[in-house]
């Protein structure tokens, strides 16, 4: 290895095993969100071929990066209901900026 260049370890997991492992982690971190689980599973299934062609993405933990938000903003949303009473709810903005191994946004 030359100075200043990091070489990731070789991927040893099969794409299917990697997807199952990350999906288990997603379900553990977000237990009460079946719609989110379904959406993540659909995206992962669509990326299976990509992972087969580019096994280096497994060692770079691309799926973990995609499923973990980079930033979560929470704010209040006051509003009037039909009877003129003020209601207050929470609003969320979830941001996820996936970057490649060189720090450049994808």
Indicate whether 15 pLDDT > 50: yes
The answer to whether 82 touches 89, Cβ cutoff 8 Å, is: no
pLDDT tens-digit readout, 23-81? 999 999 999 999 999 999 999 999 999 999 999 999 999 899 888 887 889 999 999 99
Alpha carbons 4 and 51: distance in angstroms, whole number = 27
Question: What's residue 96's pLDDT?
Answer: 73
Question: What's residue 95's pLDDT?
Answer: 80
Question: What's residue 11's pLDDT?
Answer: 44
- Among 62, 71, 72, smallest CA distance to 98 is for 62
- Give the list of residues 6+ apart from residue 102 with CB closer than 8 angstroms, or none: none
The answer to whether 15 touches 51, Cβ cutoff 8 Å, is: yes
Indicate whether 94 pLDDT > 90: no
Max intra-chain CA distance, the chain: 69
Indicate whether 1 pLDDT > 70: no
């Amino acid at each position: 290895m030359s100075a200043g260049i990091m070489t990731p370890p070789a991927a040893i997991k099969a794409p299917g095993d990697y997807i199952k492992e990350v999906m288990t982690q997603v379900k553990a971190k977000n237990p009460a969100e079946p719609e989110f689980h379904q959406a993540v599973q659909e995206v992962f299934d669509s990326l299976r071929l990509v992972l087969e062609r580019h096994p280096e993405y497994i060692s770079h933990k691309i799926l973990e990066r995609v499923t973990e938000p980079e930033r979560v903003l929470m704010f209040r949303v006051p509003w009037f209901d039909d009877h003129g009473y003020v209601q207050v709810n929470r609003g969320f903005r979830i941001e996820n900026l996936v970057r490649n191994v060189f720090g450049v946004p994808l």
